[in-house]
């Protein structure tokens, strides 16, 4: 599914967090949203997910304008969101977690057996290695994140938003997530990958949109040097020599 954001503007009182933001994500594309802390990345994705209402602008899916009055609407339209802080209930099993939230029955998750079957189907398909009967609190962070992804895919997400997904991961889990993004892309899922880490963007992104102080600075390609990308993020030349250690 193709995603297009046109002129999205979101204000909090007198402060403009998103200022006429345009963004196009093609089907099966990993599109990185790159920007330093406070640039407005999460706000934009919360608008996309129906958590915030935009003051101006439009959301289009396959060229059709959408009106999301809440996350339930966004989910039903095929948007999946994995937040920085997981929305799972730790004392429940993976399958039980699939049954929580927005109308799981709509997506064929009618009972615990159906939820288990769904977890197995998605886990097998993408090699996630998740046991439907595991307690979420017993899983490592990387596996909990895969449960969040399974939950989104179980609701037929075609566009998956990952908001700084590697912030909580070990280096090995980060590599695993990169491989997962690649598998999902091959399956035609579009991914919006939010980060401020240049290495990750260069490794996995097809295209990059750079956001600075609520505005789109421009698009960039993963082939650009760290210095070029960092300069776009902060609007001036950057010395990255410390990062290279
Ligand atoms: P990013 O995800 O790029 O780090 P955010 O979208 O979280 O940035 O935040 C962008 C700006 O909007 C920040 O200055 C932040 O303080 C402000 N902001 C975010 N959410 C709210 C809110 N609910 N109320 C007021 N200001 C907010
Ligand atoms: Mg954020
Ligand atoms: Mg305007």
Spell out the domain ranges in the chain: 1-78+160-165+194-245
| Vertex 3 angle, CA 117 and 174, to 5° | 60
Considering only CA atoms, which residue is closest to atom 14 of ligand 1? 38
Pocket test for ligand 1, best of 10, 15, 40 (most atoms within 8 A of CB): 40
Considering only CA atoms, which residue is closest to atom 25 of ligand 1? 12
End-to-end alpha carbon distance in the chain: 40
Q: From first to last of the 245 residues of the chain, give the pLDDT tens digit.
A: 999 999 999 999 999 999 999 999 999 999 999 999 999 999 999 999 999 999 999 999 999 999 999 999 999 999 999 998 899 999 999 999 999 988 899 999 999 999 999 999 999 999 999 999 999 999 999 999 999 999 999 999 999 999 999 999 999 999 999 999 999 999 999 999 999 888 899 999 999 999 999 999 988 888 888 888 888 888 888 777 655 44
How far away, in angstroms, is 199 Cα from ligand 2 center? Answer: 18
CB atoms within 10 A of CB 142: 19
How far away, in angstroms, is 165 Cα from ligand 3 center? Answer: 31
Q: In sequence order, what E strands does 95-163 have?
A: 159-163
> From CA 25, how far away is CA 161, in angstroms rounded?
11
Eight-state DSSP code of residue 135: B
Q: Which ligand is nearest to the CA of 84?
A: 2
| Ligand 1, residues at Cβ distance < 6 Å | 12, 15, 17, 35, 37-43
| pLDDT number for residue 150 | 97
Considering only CA atoms, which residue is closest to atom 15 of ligand 1? 38
Residue with tokens 């997910």: 49
Considering only CA atoms, which residue is closest to atom 23 of ligand 1? 12
- Residue ranges with CB less than 5 Å from ion ligand 2: 42
Q: Are 177 and 163 in contact (CB under 8 A)?
A: no
| Whether the complex's predicted ipTM surpasses the cut of 0.85 | yes
| pLDDT number for residue 217 | 93
CATH 3.30.2270.10, applies to 1-78+160-165+194-245: no
Residue (of 165, 133, 127) closest to 148 by Cα position? 165
Q: Which residues contact 38 (CB under 8 A, 6 or more apart)?
A: none
CB atoms within 10 A of CB 38: 12
173 alpha carbon, distance to own chain's centre? 16
| pLDDT number for residue 102 | 82
| pLDDT number for residue 245 | 42
- Per-residue 3-state assignment (H helix, E strand, C coil) for 166-216: HHHCCHHHHHHHHHHHHHHHHCCCEEEEEECCHHHHHHHCCEEEEEECCEE
> From CA 244, how far away is CA 188, in angstroms rounded?
34
| pLDDT number for residue 242 | 56
Q: Are 196 and 233 in contact (CB under 8 A)?
A: yes
> From CA 167, how far away is CA 192, in angstroms rounded?
15
| pLDDT number for residue 238 | 78
CB atoms within 10 A of CB 85: 7
Torsion region of 82: left, alpha or beta (phi above 0 gives left; psi -120 to 50 gives alpha)? beta
How far away, in angstroms, is 37 Cα from ligand 1 center? Answer: 9
Q: Which ligand is nearest to the CA of 18?
A: 1
Question: What is the sign of the dihedral through the CA atoms of 66, 219, 189 and 169?
Answer: negative
């Amino acid at each position: 599914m193709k995603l297009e954001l046109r002129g999205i503007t979101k204000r909090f009182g007198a402060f403009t967090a998103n200022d006429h933001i345009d963004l196009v994500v093609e089907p099966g594309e990993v599109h990185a949203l790159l920007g330093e802390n406070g640039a407005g990345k999460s706000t934009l994705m919360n608008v996309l997910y129906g958590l915030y209402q935009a003051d101006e602008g439009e959301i289009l899916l396959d060229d059709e304008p959408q009106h999301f009055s809440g996350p339930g609407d966004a989910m039903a339209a095929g948007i999946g969101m994995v937040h920085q802080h997981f929305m799972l209930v730790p004392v429940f099993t993976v399958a039980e977690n699939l049954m929580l939230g927005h109308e799981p029955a709509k997506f064929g998750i009618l009972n615990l057996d159906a939820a288990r079957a769904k977890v197995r189907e998605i886990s097998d398909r993408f090699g996630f290695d998740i046991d439907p009967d595991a307690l979420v609190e017993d899983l490592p962070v990387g596996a909990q994140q895969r449960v969040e992804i399974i939950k989104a895919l179980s609701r037929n997400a075609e566009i998956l938003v990952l908001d700084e997904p590697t912030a909580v991961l070990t280096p090995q889990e980060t590599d695993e997530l990169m491989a997962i993004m690649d598998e999902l892309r091959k399956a035609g899922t579009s991914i919006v990958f939010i980060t401020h880490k240049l290495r990750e963007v260069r490794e996995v992104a097809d295209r990059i949109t750079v956001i600075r102080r609520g505005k789109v600075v421009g698009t960039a390609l993963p082939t650009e040097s760290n210095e070029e990308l960092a300069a776009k993020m902060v609007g001036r030349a950057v010395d990255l020599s410390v990062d290279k250690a």
